[in-house]
C-alpha cells in the first residue's frame, strides 16, 4: 500500500511551487480551450448541439476523478497527476483532428478527454495538502487554487493569437487555441513528472493497517460521519449552485440587451471571485475553523442568489448582476476550500484519497445536472426562477450543517454530564 495517501512527506515550499506551476499551466490550457469549445462544436454540429461541448468536458472531469484518485492511492500523486495531464494532451490533439476532419463525435470524445485536465487541476489541491500541518492545510490548498486565477485570465486572452497561428499552419479556424492547450498541458505534466518528489514508499503495509477503500466504501464511511458528510455535500451543492446561476447569466444579460463586452466583464469578475480570494478563505479556515468558513461560504451563496433575484427585476440590473456573480464566486471559493480542508482532516488514511476522488466526481456530476436543468428553468420562469432553484439546491448543505451542529451539541452535553457525574462521585467519596 502506498504511503502517499497517508500524507507522505510534507510538500514544502519547493513542492508547493511545483504544484502551483502545474496548476497555472493547466489553468491556461483549460481556459484557452474552453473559451472556444462551444463555438467549435456549433461550427461542426450546429447551434442545437452547441451546449454539448461544455457537458462533455464536465462529464470527462467527473468520470476521471475516481480512477485518478485510485492511481494516487496506489502509486502516488505524481503518477496520478502526470497521467491526467497526458490524457488531456491526447484530448487536445483529438480536438484538433476533429476540427480538421469536421467530425462531431470525435470532437466530443476529445473534449471529454480534455476535461480530465480540469479534474487534475482540482486534485492538485489535495496533493498540496498531503502532509501539510493541520493548522496550515487550508492555506496550502488555497495557494494552489489561487494559481488558477492567472491561467483563467491568460488563457482566453491567448485565443485570438493562437487562432491566427493555427490558420497560418493551415488548420481550420478555432483549432489554434487547442494547440496552446496541448503545449500547456504537456508542460504541466512534464513539470510534475520531473520535479514533484514522490512520496516515500514503505517496504510493506503496516501490520493490521486497513487496505485502501474503494470510492463506494469511502462514501459509506462519510455518510456515517457528520463532518465528512457535511464536507461532501457542501462541495457538491456549492458547485451546483454556482454552475446553475453562472451558465445562465450571459443569456439573461443578452436577453435584456446588455452588450457582450459587459457580459465579459461580469464573467471576469465572477472568475476573480472564484480564485483571487482563495488565500483569504484558506487563512480564515485555518484561523477561525473550516466549519465556520464553510457556513460563511453558504451565506455568501445565499446572498448571491438573493442579489441575482433582485437584479432580474431591476430596470438597470447590470451592476447588481455583476455584484451577484462576484459574491457567487467568493461563496464557491470559501465553500470549496473549507469543504476540502474538512474532508482531508476528518478522513482516516485508508479512505482519504478515494473519498477525495469520489467527492470531486460528485461535484462535477452535480454541476453537469445543474447546467442541464438551468436552461429549461430559465425558459420557464426567467432568471428569477434560476436563482430560486439555486437557493433550493443549497438546502441539503444547510441540513447537513444543522445535523453537524446538533451532533456536536449532543456530544458536548454528554461530556458535560459525565464530568458532573465524576465530580459528584468525588464529592460523595470525600463526604464518606
Whether residue 233 is predicted with pLDDT greater than 80 in this model: the reply is yes
Which residue has better confidence, 61 or 317? 61
φ, ψ for residue 314, nearest 5 deg: -80, 140
pLDDT digits (tens, 9 = 90+) for 81-92: 999 999 999 999
Arithmetic mean of pLDDT, 149-176: 80
Note the pLDDT of residue 51: 65
Note the pLDDT of residue 422: 36
Arithmetic mean of pLDDT, 379-403: 93
Whether residue 3 is predicted with pLDDT greater than 50 in this model: the reply is no
Ordered domains of the chain (ranges, CATH): 1-195 (1.20.1250.20), 214-423 (1.20.1250.20)
Arithmetic mean of pLDDT, 39-43: 81
Record the pTM. 0.79
Note the pLDDT of residue 54: 75
Question: If pLDDT is split at 50, 70 and 90, which confidence band does 157 have?
Answer: low
Whether residue 138 is predicted with pLDDT greater than 70 in this model: the reply is yes
Whether residue 406 is predicted with pLDDT greater than 90 in this model: the reply is no
Note the pLDDT of residue 45: 84
Lowest mean pLDDT among 37-46, 181-190, 339-348, 350-359: 37-46
Note the pLDDT of residue 340: 93
Whether residue 417 is predicted with pLDDT greater than 70 in this model: the reply is no
Arithmetic mean of pLDDT, 199-225: 66
Note the pLDDT of residue 39: 74
Arithmetic mean of pLDDT, 331-356: 91
Which residue has better confidence, 295 or 214? 295
Note the pLDDT of residue 42: 78
Whether residue 32 is predicted with pLDDT greater than 80 in this model: the reply is no
Note the pLDDT of residue 47: 63
Whether residue 384 is predicted with pLDDT greater than 80 in this model: the reply is yes
Whether residue 9 is predicted with pLDDT greater than 80 in this model: the reply is no
Note the pLDDT of residue 252: 76
Note the pLDDT of residue 213: 66
Note the pLDDT of residue 147: 80
Which residue has better confidence, 179 or 7? 179
Across the chain, mean pLDDT equals 82
Whether residue 222 is predicted with pLDDT greater than 70 in this model: the reply is yes
Amino acid at each position: 500500500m502506498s504511503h502517499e495517501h497517508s500524507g507522505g512527506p510534507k510538500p514544502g515550499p519547493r513542492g508547493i511551487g511545483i504544484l502551483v506551476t502545474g496548476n497555472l499551466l493547466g489553468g491556461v490550457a483549460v481556459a484557452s480551450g474552453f473559451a472556444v469549445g462551444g463555438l467549435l462544436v456549433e461550427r461542426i454540429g450546429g447551434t442545437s448541439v452547441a451546449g454539448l461541448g461544455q457537458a462533455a468536458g464536465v462529464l470527462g472531469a467527473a468520470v476521471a476523478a475516481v480512477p485518478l484518485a485510485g492511481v494516487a492511492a496506489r502509486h502516488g500523486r505524481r503518477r496520478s497527476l502526470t497521467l491526467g495531464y497526458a490524457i488531456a494532451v491526447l484530448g487536445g490533439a483529438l480536438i484538433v483532428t476533429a476540427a480538421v476532419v469536421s467530425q462531431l463525435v470525435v470532437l466530443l470524445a476529445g473534449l471529454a478527454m480534455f476535461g480530465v485536465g480540469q479534474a487534475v487541476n482540482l486534485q492538485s489541491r489535495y496533493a498540496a495538502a498531503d502532509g501539510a500541518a493541520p493548522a496550515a492545510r487550508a492555506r496550502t490548498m488555497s495557494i494552489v487554487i489561487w494559481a488558477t486565477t492567472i491561467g483563467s485570465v491568460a488563457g482566453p486572452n491567448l485565443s485570438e493569437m493562437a487562432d491566427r497561428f493555427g490558420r497560418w499552419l493551415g488548420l481550420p479556424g478555432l483549432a489554434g487555441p487547442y494547440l496552446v492547450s496541448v503545449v500547456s498541458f504537456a508542460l504541466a505534466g512534464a513539470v510534475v513528472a520531473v520535479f514533484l518528489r514522490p512520496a516515500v514508499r514503505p517496504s510493506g503495509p503496516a501490520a493490521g493497517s486497513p487496505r485502501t477503500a474503494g470510492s463506494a466504501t469511502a462514501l459509506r464511511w462519510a455518510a456515517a460521519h457528520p463532518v465528512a458528510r457535511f464536507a461532501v455535500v457542501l462541495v457538491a451543492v456549492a458547485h451546483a449552485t454556482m454552475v446553475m446561476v453562472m451558465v445562465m447569466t450571459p443569456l439573461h444579460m443578452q436577453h435584456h440587451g446588455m452588450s457582450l463586452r459587459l457580459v465579459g466583464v461580469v464573467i471576469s469578475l465572477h472568475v476573480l471571485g472564484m480564485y483571487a480570494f482563495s488565500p483569504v478563505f484558506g487563512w480564515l479556515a485555518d484561523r477561525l475553523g473550516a466549519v465556520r468558513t464553510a457556513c460563511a461560504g453558504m451565506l455568501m451563496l445565499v446572498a448571491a442568489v438573493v442579489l441575482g433575484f433582485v437584479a432580474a427585476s431591476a430596470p438597470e440590473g447590470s451592476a447588481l448582476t455583476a455584484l451577484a456573480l462576484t459574491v457567487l464566486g467568493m461563496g464557491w471559493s470559501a465553500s470549496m476550500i473549507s469543504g476540502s480542508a474538512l474532508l482531508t482532516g476528518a478522513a482516516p488514511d485508508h479512505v482519504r484519497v478515494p473519498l477525495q476522488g469520489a467527492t470531486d466526481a460528485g461535484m462535477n456530476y452535480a454541476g453537469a445536472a445543474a447546467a442541464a436543468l438551468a436552461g429549461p428553468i430559465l425558459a420557464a420562469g426567467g432568471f428569477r426562477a434560476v436563482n430560486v432553484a439555486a437557493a433550493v439546491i443549497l438546502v441539503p448543505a444547510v441540513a447537513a450543517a444543522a445535523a453537524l451542529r446538533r451532533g456536536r451539541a449532543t456530544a458536548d452535553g454528554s461530556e458535560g454530564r459525565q464530568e458532573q457525574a465524576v465530580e459528584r462521585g468525588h464529592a460523595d467519596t470525600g463526604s464518606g
